[in-house]
Amino acid sequence: MRVGFSKDLRLCSQSLASFKNPSRVARSLNKHESTQAKQRRGWLLLLLLLQDEQDTMLASRRLHAYANHTAAALVASASASASATTNADGRHARARERPAGRMAAAAGDMVWVRVLEEGVFRFDASEAARAAAGPSLSFADPRRREVPREGSDAPAVLPTCEVVGGVQKVVVKLPSGTSFYGTGEASGPLERTGKQVFTWNTDAWAYGPGTTSLYQSHPWVLAVLPDGKALGVLADTTMPCEIDLRQESTIKFSVSSAYPVITFGPLNTPAEVITSLSHAIGTVSMPPKWSLGYHQCRYSYMSSEKVLKVVRTFREKGIPCDVIWMDIDYMDGFRCFTFDSNRFYNPKSMVDDLHSIGCKAIWMLDPGIKNEEGYFVCESGSEMDVWVQKADGSPFIGKVWPGDCVFPDFTSKRARAWWASLVRDFITNGVDGIWNDMNEPAVADVYGMLMARSTYEGMVLADASKRPFVLTRAGFIGSQRYAATWTGDNMSTWEHLHMSLSMILQLCEEVCRLALLRRYRLLPHIYTLFYHSHTKGIPVATPVFFADPQDIDLRKVETSFLLGPLLVCASTVPNKGAHECAHILPKGIWLPFDFLDSHPDLPVLYLQGGAILPIGLPIQHVGEASLEDDMSLIIALDENGKAEGVLFEDAGDGYAFTEGDYLLTYYIAELHSSVVTVKVLKSEGSWKRPKRNLKINILVGGSAMISTDGVDGEEIHLTMPSESEVSSLIATSELEHKKRFGMIQAIPDIDEPSV
């Protein structure tokens, strides 16, 4: 059986080198099916992701190495003991280092090598398994996973490996009391300890808390150790992967192929681990600023007149909105890259009207292409031979919205270029962004990511001076380089609202207006967070325990989250407002505040002591703002009477910021002898500071604040009131707060949720 497996792989390798066509290679492989078919097909999927001649040659060599050495490597691994060497206290002993950082393949041990940067290590089942591993799709630069780095550091945590029935099982044992997070887009609680997840992209309509496979696959675990330090573990495979966290303080990965495991840390904090991970898989692409505003989306708007009426109503009622979304009903018979000639007869004119009132338009594109003669997309795709094919060489046909559909093989460079060219032409209709849906066909966990990549590249072809905005339902770890994501086909239930908070980290008209005005006032801060996420890998939103990883009580909190130093505390309990919930706060100073907009259905906001929060005006859309607009700083002094904050400003689109065209301001506040001085500590970028008013608001507790006005860039001084005056301010603020809540009626719950 092993000999047959070797022959099949060699045939596949020859096909790859000669055809350079993923679909034909798959067809060649299917002609030589063996009992190892599933493992072989998964390995092939890795090979199909190669992009050029050099990669093809590398894959061919690796494939031969796999054929020649896999049997011996797997047998050796299977016979090895799965137990790791441990100290008396149960922690892994540091491995004796060999030249080039590799260690002996003893019983259950894995060979390792230093990669990427200090504290990051690659583990493989054996040297043969390392040679056989396919190219990385998760790494932004796959070579950084392959090239050993210099250094003297050695891993503090040593995974073990065994192979059972062709399944490579990797086990990582950690100290008792370790908490697990990550596993990508998964339903259920924020903390993944005790859970089991299967990474296999699945169309999981109306999923529940027990659903084990959703739309995206991220074979990644963040382990927070009892002392607050953290370790990241990535199983770098595109194959279906079982992540088993049910055994106490133990991570188990199981995959039907050879794959490397990459460890990050342990490092001092979870944030440091996430930053280190971003150096491997890349950071989020810098979004256009308008994409951080409110998006109006529903299934579905049936005509351009309806779309314009909706947006104009937003403007008439003073409800902020930056984007409206078009679902599949804009198409001619659900044919992608077309418009219904009666209901959306002039999309460019409609978009021009939207732009005139400050609104962008995003349009859906699915991978399912109607299989129909005369349809230009289908015919050009057939001419280019871009379809996913069956074993007999004919295109695979599946039923989607248009009926019988063919599907682009996004693992093919030619297919990706074909799709990108269609997107480029599609953009000329006034398309501002693209929504990729229904893109988790069960052919590979990377299908959705590669579709998003092709869409992103098509938007760059259309206008390289603009930042593409792509939203994808399906994805793989690393997708953030090309697209944003959403939580898929959830439902309007309290259970799904509760799950949405942990998944994102993992209404009546008036309250909607208040919530959106809050969002727009916070936009300068949120945009700054995205800049830091793009340039440094710092997460935009994080779980509360990131503020104090040593605090065990914070590790299960999932109704609150952090936006930098801003803590947002929500309620997902029916008939109970956020102000009525007992929120667990991190240690230290956390001061509540609002914009005189408190409401039972809005979250409670806290600012961490030592932070300065930049705030903008309550605008109706991003394009309404100007650099000369008044700004506000909300300040929470720490126990030493100090605070600091940062504000990033640029054109909001394009890439001039990469050449220095921006203004990055570092503000500081210090209390001396009852006087607080607020000033600019330093600035970066080529932009000159605009002449604008700057309002200073210093929080003193109980949502009370004292304020003064000044000019941005100049020193601003504010005298703090006496303790008795502060107490009076707090009492007055709390009384007004209570009165406001007494006058407001919360939104009643709906017995029958709508989908």
Q: Is the pLDDT of residue 423 over 70?
A: yes
The confidence score (pLDDT) of residue 241 equals 86
Domain end call among 281, 313, 335 = 281
**Residue listed under structure tokens 């005509």:** 303
Return the higher-pLDDT residue of 193 and 496: 193
Q: Is 265 helix (H, G, I), strand (E, B) or coil?
A: strand
One domain, residues 639 and 530: yes
One domain, residues 450 and 331: yes
Cβ neighbors of 106 (< 8 A, separation 6 or more) are: 80
Task: Tell me the HSE value of 298 on the side-chain side, using a 13 A CA sphere.
Answer: 11
One domain, residues 590 and 516: yes
**Structural domain includes residue 66:** no
One domain, residues 660 and 536: yes
As a whole number, the mean pLDDT across the chain is 83
pTM, entire model: 0.83
CATH assignment at residue 680:
2.60.40.1180
Domain end call among 262, 281, 300 = 281
**Structural domain includes residue 35:** no
One domain, residues 456 and 530: no
One domain, residues 306 and 382: yes
The confidence score (pLDDT) of residue 304 equals 97
The three-state DSSP-derived secondary structure of 655-684 is: CHHHHCCCEEEEEEEEEECCEEEEEEEEEE
Element (H, E) at 645: strand 642-649
Q: Is the pLDDT of residue 501 over 50?
A: no
The DSSP-derived string for 678-711 is EEEEEEESSPPPP--EEEEEEEEETTEEEEEEEE
The confidence score (pLDDT) of residue 498 equals 53
Least trusted range by pLDDT, from 180-184, 197-201, 214-218? 214-218
The DSSP-derived string for 344-372 is SS-HHHHHHHHHHTT-EEEEEE-S-EE--
Cα separation, 421 vs 457, in Å, equals: 9
**Residue listed under structure tokens 């992540």:** 243
Return the higher-pLDDT residue of 439 and 274: 274
The confidence score (pLDDT) of residue 744 equals 77
One domain, residues 353 and 419: yes
The confidence score (pLDDT) of residue 134 equals 84
CATH assignment at residue 410:
3.20.20.80
The number of angstroms, rounded, from the C-alpha of 412 to the middle of its chain's C-alpha atoms is 25
One domain, residues 275 and 346: no
Instruction: Extract the tokens encoding 419.
Output: 């799709």
The confidence score (pLDDT) of residue 439 equals 67
**Structural domain includes residue 55:** no
pLDDT single digits (tens) 318-332: 999 999 999 999 999
One domain, residues 220 and 133: yes
Share of the chain above pLDDT 90, in %: 64
The confidence score (pLDDT) of residue 413 equals 95
The confidence score (pLDDT) of residue 21 equals 39
One domain, residues 450 and 546: no
Element (H, E) at 334: none
The confidence score (pLDDT) of residue 479 equals 83
The confidence score (pLDDT) of residue 80 equals 35
One domain, residues 225 and 346: no
Cα separation, 64 vs 7, in Å, equals: 10
Task: Tell me the HSE value of 727 on the side-chain side, using a 13 A CA sphere.
Answer: 3
pLDDT single digits (tens) 34-85: 333 434 344 334 433 333 333 333 343 343 333 333 333 333 333 333 333 3
**Structural domain includes residue 615:** yes
Cα separation, 314 vs 752, in Å, equals: 27
pLDDT tier at 380 (50, 70, 90 boundaries)? very high
**Structural domain includes residue 738:** yes
Q: Is the pLDDT of residue 356 over 80?
A: yes
The confidence score (pLDDT) of residue 26 equals 38
Q: Is the pLDDT of residue 402 over 50?
A: yes
One domain, residues 300 and 233: no
Q: Is the pLDDT of residue 654 over 90?
A: yes
Cβ neighbors of 723 (< 8 A, separation 6 or more) are: none
Handedness of CA 597, 598, 602, 603 (dihedral sign): positive
* Number of neighbours of residue 280 by Cβ within 10 angstroms: 25
CATH assignment at residue 271:
2.60.40.1760
**Structural domain includes residue 32:** no
Domain end call among 254, 281, 308 = 281
pLDDT single digits (tens) 675-703: 999 999 999 999 999 999 999 999 999 99
**Structural domain includes residue 501:** no
Q: Is 635 helix (H, G, I), strand (E, B) or coil?
A: strand
**Structural domain includes residue 75:** no
Q: Is the pLDDT of residue 249 over 50?
A: yes
The confidence score (pLDDT) of residue 94 equals 32
Q: What total of structural domains would you count in the chain? A: 3
- The mean pLDDT value for 636-657 works out to 98
The confidence score (pLDDT) of residue 643 equals 98
Give the domain extent around 524.
508-743
